[in-house]
Amino acid sequence: MSLVSNRRPVLDGLFSSCHPTPLEDSLTSMQRQRNTMNLLTESTFCYQFGNQHKVKEPNGRRKTYLCYQLKLPDGQTLHKDYIKNKKKQHAEICFIDKINSLNLDKTKRYDIICFITWSPCPFCAKELVAFIKDCPHLSLEIFASRLYFHWIWGYQVGLQSLRQPNIQVSVMREKEFADCWENFVDNQGKDFKPWEKLTQYSTRIRLRLERILGKTHRTHLASEQSSECIQDENDCVDAIRNLNLDAHHPHYEEWTQDACS
């Protein structure tokens, strides 16, 4: 009884319904105990979130993991969890579905912070933009450990599309890795220990992202006809590149399985 009475003043007015919502149930569970089933192992975190350019793959390819925190403007955390990509659904799409399922009060403001192993692909970037546009009461901050096919024009355009009033995309630094370690890893009470050259790798990736976001989209500088030609040319180049690159794509195994099913 005391648990319920203590949490009601905090939660009153945050939700669109007077009946308990999935988010309220989640908050009750988090208040009772720290749910270690929803925490990453130390080895999974270091392997999947590592920002090294190349790593040995003893546990398979590095996948897309997305850790998120739902907060009030005053910084209070209402909900947090992590998601990984599924066979036929990227982690970003699972994340959108999860937030929608919380039935948040649209008259209230919420901030969402995401830590993600790979920056969003063009499709997921488009879906994230549409999601935030449909939910103006939300703001989204994305911190990526690594950039996903950053040298391909279409993926650069996808990252550029995330430049929206309520969306911010950045690269994880030591501070963000430490925050992710503290909130999403079964760390057994240990402090985060940076791996070798973490800051150096992070700086390189950050500068690369800044160059991508700072580029002026070429279609804004060309006529409509020239723009279509450029698009067709780049589509052909990307298609040729992907013949060799898809095998190294974090979702490649999913794609090939889907194609064969």
118 belongs to a structural domain: yes
Residue 253's alpha-carbon distances to 55, 67, 84, 146, 249, in angstroms, are 18, 22, 14, 19, 8
178 belongs to a structural domain: yes
One-letter identity of residue 260:
C
Question: How far is Cα 61 from Cα 58, in angstroms, rounded to an integer?
Answer: 8
pLDDT > 80? residue 227: no
190 belongs to a structural domain: yes
pLDDT of residue 237: 43
176 belongs to a structural domain: yes
Residue 175 structure tokens:
């501070």
One-letter identity of residue 66:
L
pLDDT > 90? residue 54: no
DSSP state for residue 185 in the 8-state scheme = B
259 belongs to a structural domain: no
157 belongs to a structural domain: yes
Question: Per-residue pLDDT averaged across 135-155, rounded?
Answer: 97
196 belongs to a structural domain: yes
pLDDT of residue 4: 40
121 belongs to a structural domain: yes
**Phi, psi at 93, each rounded to 5°:** -70, -40
Nearest CA among 42, 37, 92 for reference residue 250: 92
- What digits encode the pLDDT tens for the residues 147-170? 999 999 999 999 999 999 999 999
Say which CATH number the domain at 66 has.
Answer: 3.40.140.10
Q: What are the E-state strand segments in 92-247?
A: 110-118, 138-146, 167-171
- What digits encode the pLDDT tens for the residues 243-258? 444 444 444 444 333 3
Give the total number of structural domains in the chain: 1
Active site residues: 92
Residue 180 sits in which domain range? 2-220
